[in-house]
Chain A
Amino acid sequence: MGLGLVGNAFVVAGFLLEAAVVVSSLYRREFIRYLNLNIYMILTGVADSALLTCVEKYGTNSHQYFVMYYSSDVLLGILMYALIIELYQHAFARMNLRQYIRLGAGMLLVITALFSYVMVHNEHQGITTKFAVELEQNLNFVGVVLTYILAGSVLKMEEKPARLVQIVMALGVYFSATAGAYALRNLFPALGVSFVLWLPTCAATWLPLACAYSFIHETRDESGVSARQSAHQLAVNPQ
């Protein structure tokens, strides 16, 4: 059984948008500044391709697809922590807190890993759907809390870098939608066939869409720039 027309459309759209983020950040010369974001986008594209191959070979009901889906999701979730750390470093760049941020993030990662290990250890039947859903819910919820604190700090800054604000808010939308969807699935397992199943997929497509938008569009809105100047830039260079 395949992903269906809608599922395939989401995967293809996600892949194209992830490529758009990488290309546009290279074009804006921000690839290194947002290195973890770009690595995340590249690896998500690779994971999407691997998942599609897995679906073609084994189908969506196979054990291979199940393991592939959740293991890639958890690994990308860990990479997402690295992305949040990068955004924290940008937000607190002037305060010279790099060491403390890395230490705090490292400790958080260890605590999350230990928590997950305890959950796996207590789960006698191995990796079941219920366990995977619960783990995803917890990982994404930590993401929500971290992004919430980051968003509060970014909004308190005197000079708010527009791109950073947009990426942080987009990340918050992604995490909260995903954590909420998994929590709903956990609360009401019967909802598994309805829209709740599609929410994480929609959120996963939303993130590269919002990031691509901020890279393609945002730099033209610096202070003092007139609409006419930005339109001239667009007409001269429509990329």
Chain B
Amino acid sequence: MMAALICVFSVGAFLQFVMAYCRSIVTSATKVTLSADVYAVARVQSVSANDFERFLPFMRLCPGHRDERRGLSAVSAYYNVLNLLSKAVGAMAPGFASWAERERQNCSHFAAVALDRRISYNRELFLRQATNPF
């Protein structure tokens, strides 16, 4: 009985903690301002909820720092879960749908920030190489 209660509570808490962890990573990027480069590269005027997948191919083309990738995989998984949930229960719960939309937009902003960093990082490295090749 005790083990069953602990099991149920732990599974519920686990799901909540995973979601909260992904949210904390996504939220950390919302305060970061984007440069004009990222809008120009992705050909967007502003970052919307559906832009997450638009930024990913550009990021594959642009090598980044190794610790950028870890956060991106967690956010990518979070984005896919949000997509799945908003498709499954979005029509029945409009409040949840609008919350999921906001979260998906934050995920897209996170991806845009990561792309922006990669562009700037590569440009900076290229300039350093050009000015000091040895």
Q: Which residues of A contact B (CB under 8 A)?
A: 134, 137-138, 141, 144, 147-148, 151, 155, 160, 162, 165-166, 169-170, 172-173, 175-177, 179-180, 183-184, 186-187, 209-210, 213, 216-218, 221-228, 230-232, 234-236, 238
Cβ–Cβ < 8 Å partners of B4 in chain A: 183, 187
Cβ proximity bits B24-45 to A, threshold 8 Å, 1 near / 0 not? 1101110111110010000000
5 of the cross-chain contacts (CB-CB < 8 Å) are A183-B10, A227-B35, A231-B120, A234-B117, A235-B121
Does residue B53 face the partner (Cβ distance < 8 Å to A)?
no
B31 and A169 contact, CB distance less than 8 A: no
Contact yes or no, A144 B65, CB < 8 A: no
Q: Given A180-B10, A218-B28, A232-B120, is A224 in contact with B17 using a C-beta cutoff of 8 Å?
A: no
User: What 1/0 flags go to B6-20 for Cβ under 8 Å of A?
Assistant: 110111011011101
Name which of B14, B38, B121 has the most chain A CB atoms within 10 A of its CB. Answer: B14
When the two chains form the complex, which single residue of B10, B27, B113, B119 contacts A176, counting CB atoms closer than 8 Å?
Answer: B10
Q: Which of A175, A209, A226, A236 has the most CB of B within 10 A?
A: A226
Contact status B32-A226, CB under 8 Å:
yes
Q: Are A137 and B3 in contact (CB under 8 A)?
A: yes
In the complex, A234 Cα to B68 Cα: how many Å? 11
Asked whether A187 and B7 contact (CB < 8 A) given A148-B13, A227-B116, A230-B32, the answer is yes
* Chain B residues within CB distance 8 Å of chain A: 3-4, 6-7, 9-11, 13-14, 16-18, 20-21, 24-25, 27-29, 31-35, 38, 65, 67-68, 70-71, 113, 116-121, 124-125, 128
Could you say which of A162, A180, A231, A232 contacts B28, with CB atoms under 8 Å apart? A162
Given A221-B32, A224-B31, A225-B32, A151–B67 Cβ distance below 8 Å?
no
* Interface contact B31-A213, CB-CB below 8 Å: no
Q: In the complex the two chains form, is A227's CB within 8 Å of B124's CB? A: no
Question: A151 contacts which of B17, B32, B121 (Cβ < 8 Å)?
Answer: B17
CA distance A216 to B69 in the complex (A): 12
Min Cβ gap A186→B in Å is 4
Residues of the B chain whose Cβ atoms lie less than 8 Å from the Cβ of A218 = 28
A sample of 11 more A-B contacts (CB under 8 A), given A144-B13, A162-B27, A234-B117, is: A144-B10, A169-B24, A172-B21, A176-B17, A180-B10, A217-B68, A225-B33, A227-B38, A228-B35, A231-B120, A234-B65
Contacts A137-B3, A177-B14, A180-B14 given: A226-B35 contact, CB under 8 Å? Answer: yes
